[in-house]
Amino acid sequence: MEVDYIVIGAGSAGCAVAGKLAEGGKHSVLLVEAGGENRSPLVEMPRGWVRLWQNPKHFWLFPVEAQTGRPAGEQWAYGKGLGGSSAVNGTLYSRGQPADFDPWQEHGPEWSWAQMERVYREMEDFRGPAPHPSRGKGGPLQITELDGSRFKPVFDAVFKAAAAMGLPYQPDINAPGQSGIGYSQVTINARGRRSTAYGAFLKSLHPLSNLQIVTEAVTQRILLRDGRAVGVEVEQGGRRLIYTARREVILCAGVLNSPKILQLSGLGPAALLQRQGIKVAIDLPAVGDNLREQVMLTRSYRLHGAAGLNREFRGWRLWRNLLEYYLFGRGVMSYAASELTAFLPFGSDPSWPRVQMSISPYSFSAQSGEKAEPGRGAPDPFPGISITCMFLRPRSTGRLSLQSTDARAAPRIEANWLSDPQDRTDVAGLFRYMDRLMRRPEFGGLVGEETFPKDGATTDAEILASVMQNFGCGLHGTGTCRMGRDPGTSVVDSRARVHGVTNLRVADCSIMPTLISGGTNGPAMAVGRRVAELILEDATPS
Ligand SMILES: Cc1cc2nc3c(=O)[nH]c(=O)nc-3n(C[C@H](O)[C@H](O)[C@H](O)COP(=O)(O)OP(=O)(O)OC[C@H]3O[C@@H](n4cnc5c(N)ncnc54)[C@H](O)[C@@H]3O)c2cc1C
């Protein structure tokens, strides 16, 4: 098969790229996705992700190298199938901050907050009650705001406690450049269904004669001829297929698979490729380097004087909630993650928050000693409240390298969690901050004793040991094919073109040169749409 553009990976960014390129019907586009169609009703139901968690049909599983202080068997899970991680994520929607994107101008004029704000405005259909003027209405991606009325007394107490700690209430938590607390915004539509990147950017276009989507098709490598990308080699149902691109190949396989596919194609650190017996096409030392992840800390407490959500996930209440969801598209199964979101400056510039905080009246697994992680174990048998903080911009970086020539195999991942001393000081401070907030007098007895991690850590060393054992991976990875001018330290230029190769771009979280201050689903889609604009600008009439 020969088409104008081949897009590898139907995730948050890949769907945005393919949709934009196919719009208007001018160019033929082939989207190649390793996973399936993600038709499970548990994908559509926002709370369903807890049941899908780490199911290999819907997730790529990536074992992480052992690290002193971390629990054994750490594994990261990113989404697979149409929609990619947007089909299985926590649905919290954030855009990142102006101060995240403006420094990208150092790599080229294509990037700035002004550009990204326009892209967000065009792609959003925000249905919140008090949208900031920069928010979009009528775009393909439906975003709603969670309704907290059911837990009003608890949330009013949280707002008062937060205000006392210097965090004002924000009517639109995604207004640019500010700290504060407000109701969470989510990629969930007005009927309570998850808005995936596939649903937003492609479903309405498909079937479209110039857009073809193949699923269960694993890209093995990108085919290069005379320094040009000319197509892809794909494995589908045990067969090897070759697809040819007349114009370009766009790699959108995500932060861990995009660098792996480049390395499989002979684009990466020469010594590493030679060790794997791969012919070096171009020595690009930065492929797989600069892996940046966010650190997710959780503390849970008993909730007094309110029933909370824990009991809603058990027995007859669970059945009632499922029925309510399927009949009316509302209720506790129609939202995921947490009802409240805050952005905290945490000791630095209030216009560039360093911590994203979520608060919700449920708690997991404190009794059984399991980690408070989505999908692991059961909700506590008593009412609980959890506070989760995402440490957004750690300095520590990890790395990823190929350890097999099979595209289905996981690469070697060295996380190097908190290897920077300043990160260790910061997370210990954050852990203390979380407890200070939950013990504010404004809660008036609503919040009781800690139930997770509940290990009595008080000294810096004890806190750090507890944090190392208990934090979760943010699953907001970036940077492994980072953008920049220098082929020695970066992988793509500011138009997302791979250094030294013609007709090959990368467009997903991997090209982000620095971390985003928030979840990465919205930013991945916005980056995808921006790169597609650049591709169309560069397209010469054929
Ligand atoms: C469990 C989880 C919860 C999260 N929660 C949130 C949240 O609440 N809010 C938020 O903002 N962010 C969240 N994130 C992060 C966010 O969803 C991701 O950062 C974002 O979706 C990544 O987009 P992407 O396009 O870079 O990659 P992905 O969306 O991961 O897409 C990559 C796609 O490429 C495909 N692919 C990979 N290799 C191949 C191959 N060889 N051949 C063909 N196809 C291939 C994959 O199957 C996948 O479909 C979460 C992530 C996860 C995993």
**For position 373, what pLDDT does the model report?**
52
Q: Is residue 330 part of a domain?
A: yes
**pLDDT tens digit sequence for 470-526:** 999 999 999 999 999 999 999 999 999 999 999 999 999 999 999 999 999 999 999
**pLDDT tens digit sequence for 307-338:** 999 999 889 999 999 999 999 999 999 987 78
Reported in sequence order, the residue ranges of 147-227 that DSSP labels E, i.e. its strands, are 180-183, 185-186, 211-214, 217-225
Q: Is residue 460 part of a domain?
A: yes
Eight-class DSSP state of 208: B
**For position 286, what pLDDT does the model report?**
98
206 is catalytic: no
Q: Which residue stretches of the chain have pLDDT < 50?
A: 366-372, 374-375
**Using an 8 Å Cβ cutoff, are 510 and 478 in contact?**
yes
Q: Peptide bond before 453: cis, by omega within 30 degrees of 0?
A: yes
Q: Is residue 310 part of a domain?
A: yes
Atom of ligand 1 at shortest distance to CA of 35? 47
Residue among 34, 26, 47 at smallest CA distance from 7? 34
Check which CATH number belongs to the domain holding 162 and give it.
Answer: 3.30.410.40
Q: Is residue 376 part of a domain?
A: yes
pTM over 0.95: yes
3-state secondary structure of 88: coil
The catalytic position among 27, 58, 107, 476 is 476
Place of tokens 């697994």: 365
From atom 16 of ligand 1, which residue's Cα is the shortest distance away? 521
Q: Is residue 382 part of a domain?
A: yes
Burial of 233: CB neighbours in 10 Å, binned 0-12, 13-18, 19+: middle
Question: 293: Cβ below 6 Å to ligand 1?
Answer: no
Return d(Cα 477, Cα 85) in angstroms, integer: 12
Range of the domain at 344: 147-183+295-391+418-470
Q: Is residue 11 part of a domain?
A: no
Q: Is residue 535 part of a domain?
A: no
**For position 542, what pLDDT does the model report?**
55
Long-range own/partner contacts, residues 450-459 (CB < 8 A, 24 or more apart):
450/299, 450/300, 450/301, 451/300, 451/301, 451/302, 451/363, 451/366, 451/367, 451/380, 451/384, 452/298, 452/299, 452/300, 452/363, 452/364, 452/365, 452/366, 452/372, 452/386, 453/299, 453/372, 454/366, 457/431
Question: 218: Cβ below 6 Å to ligand 1?
Answer: yes
Atom of ligand 1 at shortest distance to CA of 82? 49
Question: 85: Cβ below 6 Å to ligand 1?
Answer: yes
Eight-class DSSP state of 436: H
**For position 379, what pLDDT does the model report?**
86
Question: How many structural domains does the chain have?
Answer: 1
Q: Is residue 271 part of a domain?
A: no
